[in-house]
């Protein structure tokens, strides 16, 4: 088995003067869950469409499952597009089975596989229902199932969580983890960081068509310095002298409502620094703490940190 199921090298796509994807390269290791993160309009869908050979890149090359063209290996790929839709008049099992047969499964296997999936993911009672009678969320689950029914080696899900309620989001997370356990590689795009944080082995962050970050969750966390938040009265200069501290920001310095006279500080600490030592240091210098927080920066923070200004600018356009 090859090491990478998918490799993009220097891929670009332009629509007229607009550059949708700009010189992106990355590789996805076999068997991983890979997150495609980025603000709206970042180029995630365009990248996915190029990977699937629905769109042709203007430049660069794509290697998917050892082939340069996804059409040659399309039976080994499962795809859920961003905008969801199904044939309204078809029955639920029939549509799953139909898409599986289009991926090369024979009719009988496809039918039994459809019922198996519907049972496992809580849609057994709807197997004979028509798609038009389903709620939006259920329809979306059906579509996810129809994308993966043929047990593809590579599963590409474009915004699979959007429109699902929390319970069904969990079901979907379960499905993704099930597939990863079976050795399938899963790529999904999202702008909800919690899912990526919980599921992804690796992730790619793109904005304005450019790659901003590619790496593991730990790599991502390392981008933003870790922070300790202190709330106390008086001076903290003694603590700040410590070698572990990279910088200090006072939060809300102008807020007069802090009647207690306490001030809020945010200390950025070094990667290897031990927050316990800082706490100890505070005690040693008799700083009366009313609050001491040590938090790992969330992926959300990393995301905002990396694309924040751009994303805001984009949304105002």
Interface contacts to other proteins, rule CB under 8 A: 49, 52, 54-56, 70-71, 74, 77, 79-90, 98-99, 101-103, 143, 146-147
Q: Which is nearer to other proteins, 69 or 249 (CB)?
A: 69
Q: Which of 72, 82, 78 has the alpha carbon at shortest distance from 99? A: 78
The nearest distance, CB 214 to other proteins, in angstroms, is 24
Question: Other CB atoms closer than 10 Å to residue 228's CB: what's the count?
Answer: 21
The nearest distance, CB 69 to other proteins, in angstroms, is 11
Q: Which is nearer to other proteins, 52 or 228 (CB)?
A: 52
Q: Is 56 exposed, middle or buried (0-12, 13-18, 19+ CB in 10 A)?
A: exposed
Angle between helical axes of 92-102 and 107-120 (0-180°, round to 10): 130
Answer whether 31's CB lies under 8 Å from 190's CB. Answer: no
Q: Which is nearer to other proteins, 98 or 213 (CB)?
A: 98
The nearest distance, CB 49 to other proteins, in angstroms, is 8
Q: Which is nearer to other proteins, 73 or 220 (CB)?
A: 73
Q: Which residues pair with 37 in a beta bridge?
A: 190, 205
The nearest distance, CB 144 to other proteins, in angstroms, is 11
Q: Which of 232, 237, 211, 213 has the alpha carbon at shortest distance from 223? A: 213
The nearest distance, CB 304 to other proteins, in angstroms, is 29
186/48 Cα distance (integer angstroms): 13
The nearest distance, CB 152 to other proteins, in angstroms, is 10
Angle between helical axes of 136-148 and 166-181 (0-180°, round to 10): 10
**Conformational region of residue 10, where left means phi above 0, alpha means psi within -120 to 50, and beta covers everything else:** left
Q: Which is nearer to other proteins, 187 or 302 (CB)?
A: 187
Q: Which is nearer to other proteins, 14 or 198 (CB)?
A: 14
């Amino acid at each position: 088995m090859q090491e990478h199921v998918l490799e993009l090298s220097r891929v670009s796509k332009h629509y007229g003067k607009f550059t949708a994807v700009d010189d992106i390269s990355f590789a996805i290791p076999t068997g991983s869950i890979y997150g495609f993160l980025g603000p709206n309009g970042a180029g995630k869908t365009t990248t996915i469409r190029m990977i699937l050979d629905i769109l042709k890149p203007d430049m660069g090359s794509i290697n998917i499952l050892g082939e340069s063209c996804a059409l040659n290996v399309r039976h080994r790929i499962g795809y859920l597009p961003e905008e969801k839709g199904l044939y309204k008049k078809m029955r639920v099992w029939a549509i799953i089975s139909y898409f599986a047969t289009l991926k090369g499964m024979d009719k009988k296997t496809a039918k039994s596989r459809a019922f198996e999936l519907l049972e496992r993911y809580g849609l057994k009672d709807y197997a004979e229902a028509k798609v038009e009678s389903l709620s939006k969320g259920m329809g979306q689950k059906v579509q996810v199932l129809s994308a993966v029914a043929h047990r593809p080696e590579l599963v590409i899900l474009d915004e699979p969580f959007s429109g699902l309620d929390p319970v069904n989001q969990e079901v979907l997370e379960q499905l993704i983890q099930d597939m990863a356990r079976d050795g399938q590689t899963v790529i999904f795009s999202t702008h909800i960081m919690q899912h990526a944080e919980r599921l992804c082995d690796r992730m790619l962050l793109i904005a304005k068509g450019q790659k901003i970050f590619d790496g593991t969750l730990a790599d991502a966390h390392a981008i933003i310095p870790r922070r300790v938040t202190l709330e106390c009265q008086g001076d903290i200069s003694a603590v700040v002298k410590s070698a572990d501290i990279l910088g200090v920001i006072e939060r809300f310095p102008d807020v007069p409502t802090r009647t207690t006279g306490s001030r809020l500080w945010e200390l950025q600490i070094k990667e290897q620094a031990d927050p316990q030592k800082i706490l100890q240091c505070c005690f040693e210098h008799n700083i009366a703490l009313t609050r001491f927080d040590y938090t790992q920066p969330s992926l959300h923070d990393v995301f905002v940190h990396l694309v924040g200004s751009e994303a805001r600018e984009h949304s105002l356009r």
